[in-house]
Chains A and B, each alone.
Chain A
Amino acid sequence: MSLSVLPSLLFFVLGLVYTTATVMLPDASIGRAYEPKIFPFMLGFILLVLSLGLIARELKEVRGKNEKESAPPFYKESGFNKILMTCVFAVLYALIFNKAGYVISTIIFLELELILFNGKENWKVNTAVALVFSLFIYIIFSKVLGVFLPLTPGLWI
């Protein structure tokens, strides 16, 4: 099966899951019992109809097209690995954010990102950018704008 049908198929599945979840919602204890379900039910139903229409259109297009014409799938594109790595770094960032504090965790996250893009060999530039950005944002947000950012244990920042 061609990859181009996948998104419409996913939306169809989403429509199914969402509509089922809507039907299973508890009744409202005030007003009409079914009222919280009306709007979501309409959405689920419309999504099912639209995604079926799209699946039909995509299948028709796939048949009419030569295999050679199709572009390489997204996961083979350059840069896709970097997106995945960025997501991994972001999860790591989230895990250490409260424990290590804003400045330290941001320096680590940016250093990793900069190594990914700018290369290990430019470590001096990378470290300088990570340090300056983290401290600058900390001072602007925490000290000037009064936005709370978690502190690093044992340090004044």
Chain B
Amino acid sequence: MDTLGFLLDGFMVALTPANLMWVTIGGLLGTIIGMLPGLGPATGVAVLLPLTFSMGPTAALITMGGVYYGAMFGGSRASILINTPGDGAAVAATFDGYPMTQQGRAESALAISAISSFFGGIFATVCMVAIAIPVARFALKFGPAEYFMLFLFALSATAAMSEGNRLKGFIATIFGLMIATIGIDGQSGVIRFSMGILELQSGIDFLIIIIAVYALGEVFKSFKNIDSGKAKVQTNFGKIWISMEDWKRSVWPILRSAPLGFFVGALPGAGGTMASLMAYNNEKQLSKHPEEFGEGAIEGLAAPESANNAASVGAMIPMLTLGIPGSGTTAVMMGALLLLGQQPGPMLFQQQPLIVWGLIASMFIGNIILAVINIPLAGVLVRVLSVPPKILYPIVLGLSFVGAYAISYSVMDFYILVIFGLVGYFMSKAKFPTTPMILAVIVGNNMEQSFRRAYKIADGDVGIFFGSPICLILFTLTIISIFYPLLRGYFIKRKAGKA
């Protein structure tokens, strides 16, 4: 079977001493960034991106993969110990994780979080191995019209997922697409929307926007709480492990939540936050003791931790096989791949199998290394939490600027960084979701090029966008993703009216 052969080749790549070192360093740094309140995996990868500039694409992706999982691990440390989640995906870990710490069960909480994350991650990686090649093969059938419809579906699904703010989600998406149209048009050479500024003729680098929104914007949001003083963190622990009783309670929730997380993560736009909240609610409904949830029930921590790590792996599938990022973090990784001259998508599997399979193999290794780092070294790592944010946030700012400079070697990008940092901050203040905007900025150019190519092939006939079964299915999915929440709301109201 060729998948196993590729995977073995991938392990050969991932197990080289250099790559092992990179995944460990990435994991450690990611854990530290992830522990900072408000900063999650997307920020971690964005800020640490420059580390990978001198690496080859495989080592760069492996390092970023390590940062990604590391930040997920780190996010839950902060949730469990000081009740401040690093990002949305770690919110569910506060529900039962922090009560466990208050009850003096921090050791069990840290251990179960690492164990469930490990299982979730490994399970999802196995699933990924099984389905990556079939999806990539299927995607080879896509022409420009199919790709355009796929982009349309991915973006509308992401915007529609913005709970309660769908209209704002769609506006943010269009705004992102508009940013992507700035600069010289690749097909006609016409300079668009550069406002006479020379530096804008080549367009705004999406990596700068990512760093601006995910690093600067998030740090700006945290300024409000920066003076709240340092949190009291428990740094002395007993043996970080769990009892047999804890394990019995957690094993099924972990096993049930991993497939759920993987599936939700692979959907465009859903991501770790939704996966972990769904897993939590699911377990609460299935539990014989739902009243213990929120009071320190270990399965209430195990389930979301397993789901969100599985989701983080699931989110890589659309990015690697189709070239469509499913989450903020995979968007950053895709940006980095493009910077390294690699176009994610089905052709990447054919042309650069070692890059893809090296990354997949490193997911296995990365999950093992992180579990090893996070269980015995938890006491050392959490000391980061006792460094006051007043010192850590200026450092994150410093990293953002050097990262932006290393991308283009232009100080002009400092201004763009500040402007979009403010844009990100104000958008969040006005409750406009920023992730749909980031995804749109990244896929915008490809989306327009697909549209134009299809338009040219059909000689100006827009019927091409509805001409194949794949197009029609994607169009139907787009319509469903837009109207499903409305229909659901209508049915819920009707049901409530009848009751």
Residues of A within 8 A of B (CB): 4, 6-8, 11, 14, 18, 21, 25-32, 35-36, 38-40, 43-44, 46-47, 50-51, 53-54, 57, 74, 77-80, 82-83, 86-87, 90-91, 93-94, 97-98, 102, 106, 109-110, 113-114, 117-118, 125, 129, 133-134, 137, 140-141, 145-149
Name the contact of A50 in the complex, choosing from B174, B181, B422 (C-beta under 8 A). B174
| Known contacts A35-B452, A83-B223; A11/B190 CB under 8 A | no
Cα(A102)–Cα(B432), bound, Å: 35
Bound-complex Cα distance A110 to B398 (A): 7
Q: Please name all residues of chain A whose beta carbon is closer than 8 Å to the beta carbon of B227 when the two chains form the complex.
A: 78
Complex Cα spacing A122 to B189, Å: 55
User: Shortest CB–CB separation between residue B400 and chain A, in angstroms?
Assistant: 10
Which 8 A-B residue pairings sit nearest by Cβ, starting from the closest?
Answer: A28-B188, A79-B223, A94-B414, A113-B394, A7-B430, A79-B224, A117-B390, A36-B190
Which residues of chain A come closer than 8 Å to B105, judged between CB atoms? none
Interface of B is mostly: helix
A137 to B394, CA, bound (A): 14
Query: Would you call B411 and A30 a contact (CB within 8 A)?
Result: no
CB pair A21–B187 under 8 Å, yes or no, is no
Q: How far is the CA of A110 from the CA of B391 in the complex (A)?
A: 10
- Show 16 residue pairs from A and B whose CB-CB distance is below 8 angstroms, ordered by the A residue: A26-B190, A30-B188, A36-B192, A40-B181, A50-B167, A50-B171, A54-B168, A82-B223, A93-B401, A93-B414, A114-B394, A118-B388, A133-B398, A141-B406, A145-B54, A147-B53
- A118 near B390 (CB under 8 angstroms)? yes
CB of A149 within 8 A of CB of B405, answer yes
The answer to whether B398 touches A106, judged by C-beta atoms less than 8 angstroms apart, is: yes
Contact (Cβ within 8 A) B391 A129: yes
**Residues of B contacting A129 with CB < 8 Å?**
391, 394-395
Select which of B185, B395, B432 is within 8 A of A133 by beta carbon: B395
Q: Which of A32, A91, A118 interacts with B418 by CB under 8 Å?
A: A91
In chain A, what residue has the closest Cβ to B419?
A87
Question: Is A118 within 8 A of B401, CB to CB?
Answer: no
B241 at the interface (CB under 8 A from A): no
Contact indicator B192/A141 (Cβ below 8 Å): no
Chain A nearest Cβ from B309, distance in angstroms: 29
Please tell me if the beta carbons of B175 and A40 are within 8 angstroms of each other in the complex: no
Q: Is the CB of B417 within 8 A of A43?
A: no
A54 contacts across to B, CB distance below 8 A: 167-168, 171
Query: Which residues of B lie under 8 Å from residue A97 when comparing CB positions?
Result: 405, 411, 414
Please, which residues of chain A bring their CB within 8 A of the CB of B427? 7
CB closest chain-B residue, reference A95: B411
Given A11-B175, A114-B391, decide whether A39 and B401 contact each other with a Cβ distance below 8 A. Answer: no
Closest to A78 in B: B224
B: residues with CB less than 8 A from A are: 50-51, 53-54, 167-168, 170-171, 174-175, 177-178, 181, 185, 187-190, 192-193, 220, 223-227, 388, 390-391, 393-395, 397-399, 401-402, 405-406, 409, 411, 414-415, 417-418, 421-422, 425-427, 429-430, 432, 448, 451-452, 455-456, 460
Closest residue of B by beta carbon distance from A27: B190
8 Å CB contact of A113 from B168, B397, B448: B397
Q: How far is the CB of A110 from chain B (nearest CB, A)?
A: 6
> Measured between alpha carbons, how far is A36 from B390 in the docked complex, in Å?
47
Instruction: For A73, give the chain B residue with the smallest CB separation.
Output: B429
Residue in A14, A39, A57, A148 whose CB lies within 8 Å of B175: A14
* Residues A25 and B190 in contact, CB atoms below 8 Å apart: yes
Find chain B residues with CB under 8 A from A78 CB. 224, 227
- A39 and B188 form a contact (CB under 8 A): no
Which of the residues B171, B187, B394 comes within 8 Å of A110, measured between beta carbons? B394
Residues of B within 8 Å of A35, CB to CB, are: 187-188, 452, 455
Q: State which of B178, B393, B422 has its C-beta within 8 Å of the C-beta of A117.
A: B393
Task: With A50-B167, A118-B391 as known contacts, state yes or no: A141 contacts B175, CB within 8 Å.
Answer: no
Q: Is the CB of B391 within 8 A of A39?
A: no
Contact of B456 among A25, A31, A39, A110 (CB under 8 A): A31
Establish whether residues A43 and B178, one from each chain, have CB atoms under 8 Å apart when the complex forms. yes
- Which of B51, B390, B432, B448 has the most CB atoms of chain A within a 10 A radius of its CB? B390
Name the contact of A106 in the complex, choosing from B193, B220, B388, B402 (C-beta under 8 A): B402
C-alpha spacing A120/B174, complex, angstroms = 44
Query: For the complex, what is the distance from the CA of A144 to the CA of B240, rounded to whole Å?
Result: 36
A47-B181 contact given A35-B452, A86-B397, CB 8 Å threshold: no
Q: Are B398 and A147 neighbours in the complex by a CB distance under 8 Å?
A: no
A148 touches B409 (CB 8 A): yes
Q: Residues of A contacting B190 with CB < 8 Å? A: 25-28, 36
Interface residue from B220, B394, B451 paired with A39 (Cβ < 8 Å):
B451
Measured in the bound complex, the distance between the Cα atoms of B226 and A40 in whole Å is 41
Given contacts A35-B188, A87-B422, contact A117 B226 (CB under 8 A): yes
Residue of B nearest to A111 (CB): B394
Which residue of chain B lies nearest to A12 when distances are taken between CB atoms in the complex? B171
Q: Is the CB of B452 within 8 A of A39?
A: yes
Determine the distance from Cα of A125 to Cα of B391 in the docked complex, in whole angstroms: 9
A29 touches B415 (CB 8 A): no
